[in-house]
Structure 1
Amino acid sequence: MKMKKFIAVFMISVLAVLTLVGCGTDDDSTSGKTENNSESGAVLRIAAQPYPLYTPVYVAQELGYLQEEFEAVGATYEWQEFKSGPLVNEAVAAGEADLGFMADLPAIIAKSTGQPIEIVSNIAYGEKGLAVLVKADSTVKSIADLKGKKIAYATGSYAQHLLALLLSNEDLTLDDVQTINLGASDQPAALANGEVDAIVIWEQYISKLTSDGTAKVLADGTGVKRGNMITYVVSDYAKANPDVIKAYIRALNRADELLASDPDKAAEAVAADFGVDTKLMRKIISNFTYSTELTAEDIAEITKVKDFSLDAGIISKDVDINSFINTEYVKAAE
């Protein structure tokens, strides 16, 4: 009797364990993106730039969307800031970052030099987000008046492309002006002190310098340059961690939705990141269209920038746009 009782108790215990194991398996299959995810523990090293051109990424960072979406796939991220796209390119080339966001031209330059990267999302575009500024009391009245003048911009940035386009419209080239390589943060002082006659700069500086009376807009990208901001990723990282890239894009999509539905809340969340007040940030937001989607128009614009850069000698090696732009991650993140 004791033996029969022991066997019965043993069998009941085994059945109970099997039932619990079965329940655990069902839970894992429905949650799907935690302990059993092959990307659990992955770290995405993000090379950021503190400019409103990339407002959705900063909204996603400040309001916790990035953290939440990364936690859902068992991943984390590291955040480091740089002052320009070319500096982001250097960090990625040195193996210090996996993902960077920047304007179209520096991304094209990076790919042209052989960096193993691919564009995985759009971030924004805005023709008024980039402009040539002169002092408020400057005698320079047109782009044609810049001939022979000193103009500062960050070499290799999309500011270089806008200036080249504007000069071209006046039958001028970059050789017809004196160009000075200056980062965005150094340009306002150079303009105010009279060290240069004009600067080619982006937001938040455009709004700050024009609102305080320091400078005026000589010309912006309206009708000349769409001004696409994109995200690129090291290809090997994306292949090994596709769910992490999709998580990043989902976080940006949430930020885009907030920017559309409640721009005041979005502005309040990120104004301090860009050194402006909420009111000015709200104005800046209105100058951009924020979206991760890589439309046919976006791809055509990036191709146009690539072709111009090749013809102008800004890049020496052509870039295959079809292999450079990967729209699959954006589609999968919808």
Structure 2
Amino acid sequence: MKKSIKNIIALGLSTLLLAGVFAGCQNSDTKKTTDAEKSNVVLRIGAQPYPLYSSIYVAKKLGYLDEELKKVGATYEWTDFKSGPLVNEAVAAGSEDIGFMADMPAILAKSSGQDIEIIGNVAYGEKALAVLVGADSNITNPSQLKGKKVAYVKGSYAQHLLALVLKNAGLTFDDIESVNLAAGDMPAALEGKQIDAAVLWEQFVSKLTTEGRAKVLVDGTGIKKGNMVTYSTKEFAEKNPQVIEAYIKAGQRASEYIKTNPKEAAEAIAGDFGVTPELMVKIFNNLTFTQELTKDDIQEIKTVEKYILDQKIISNEVNMDEFINTKFLEEAGITK
């Protein structure tokens, strides 16, 4: 009888122990689910539909953004803007968490007082930015821009290229007639001879030259590297470092995909930029896509800040060492 009682007690204890373990597993699973739900952050992305940012568009189209963000319990919202300044305005208004753009408008945003930081590269390309003249123009040397109407987007990285081109030709902005024009309006103005030259980026450079509507006077080769960067608000990045790292990983996966599968990548995103897949492949050849920020990249961006400070485009010096934050790249395994 005593043996039976002992057996019953032992069985009861075993059952309770197993029930406790099972309940513990259930509680653990429930806690994980709850934590994931709590961390279901929405990353609001301010985008620009230009091939300069192809890797991010590929990451979106091929699902890399969804996959990487899902791993950290996050999702994203995507808004297209026509220019970097408009992205800056949206971020400043609290409507977006991150934005990607060229080096100069990013620095201008920081100088204006926005609490942001550069978290990674997107691409660079010396040939992806150029001074164009009409197909039948007799301008063959930058020195001939003296007294001519030259269009560019004020505050864009095109303005910086033009400054460098003019300097190399012994000219300044005082020697030309500056025309502040939206990029999309420049092709018609150039063909209509309302302007003599236009400083444009991709897709305009490849599209206009391929169609025989313009020719390159000079591009950024040996003059300007032309970095495209992503910046984030510091508040969002500090609260959600894993989300920033997931974004970087998605972008890098897309960068590698473009490198190894250019035709397939072109077919996926050409429609976003209003070009054919064939032209998209040509554009890819003018750009290098990577999230990594090398020492050369950082120095290049610092040079841009010095230029806009010297030209009194900005009045407040930017602490570039604080502005460029590579810790997220390191945590994502992109930069060692």
Which residue does 1:201 correspond to in 2?
Answer: 200
5 Å matches for 1:100-249? 100-249=99-248
Letter in 2 for 1:282: V
Instruction: Note if contact 1:46-1:97 (Cα within 8 Å) is conserved in structure 2.
Output: yes
Per-residue deviation, residues 85-112 of structure 1 (Å, max 9, x unmatched): 1111111111111100000000011111
Per-residue deviation, residues 171-194 of structure 1 (Å, max 9, x unmatched): 211121111111111111111111
Structure-2 separation of matches of 1:117 and 1:39: 25
Of the three residues 16, 19, 27, the one matched with 1:17 is: 19
Instruction: Give the CA deviation at 1:16.
Output: 3.5
Instruction: Note if contact 1:136-1:216 (Cα within 8 Å) is conserved in structure 2.
Output: yes
Which residue does 1:301 correspond to in 2?
Answer: 300
**Cα 1:153–1:105 shift into 2, 3 Å:** same
5 Å matches for 1:69-84? 69-84=68-83
Instruction: Give the CA deviation at 1:37.
Output: 4.4
Which consecutive residues of structure 1, in runs of 5 or more, have no partner in the other structure? none
Structure-1 separation of matches of 2:114 and 2:78: 21
Instruction: Give the CA deviation at 1:216.
Output: 0.3
Instruction: Note if contact 2:119-2:326 (Cα within 8 Å) is conserved in structure 1.
Output: yes
Instruction: Give the CA deviation at 1:9.
Output: 8.2
Per-residue deviation, residues 163-216 of structure 1 (Å, max 9, x unmatched): 011001112111211111111111111111111111111000111101111000
Per-residue deviation, residues 53-94 of structure 1 (Å, max 9, x unmatched): 111100001101001111111111111111111111111111
Which consecutive residues of structure 2, in runs of 5 or more, have no partner in the other structure? none
Structure-1 separation of matches of 2:189 and 2:15: 79
Calculate the aligned-residue CA RMSD, in Å. Answer: 2.2
Instruction: Note if contact 1:35-1:74 (Cα within 8 Å) is conserved in structure 2.
Output: no
Which sits farther off after the overlay, 38-47 or 194-203? Answer: 38-47
Which sits farther off after the overlay, 254-263 or 124-133? Answer: 254-263
Which residue does 1:318 correspond to in 2?
Answer: 317
Letter in 2 for 1:126: G
Letter in 2 for 1:165: L
Structure-2 separation of matches of 1:304 and 1:162: 12
SS of the residue 2:299 aligns to: helix
Instruction: Note if contact 1:83-1:183 (Cα within 8 Å) is conserved in structure 2.
Output: no
Which residue does 1:269 correspond to in 2?
Answer: 268
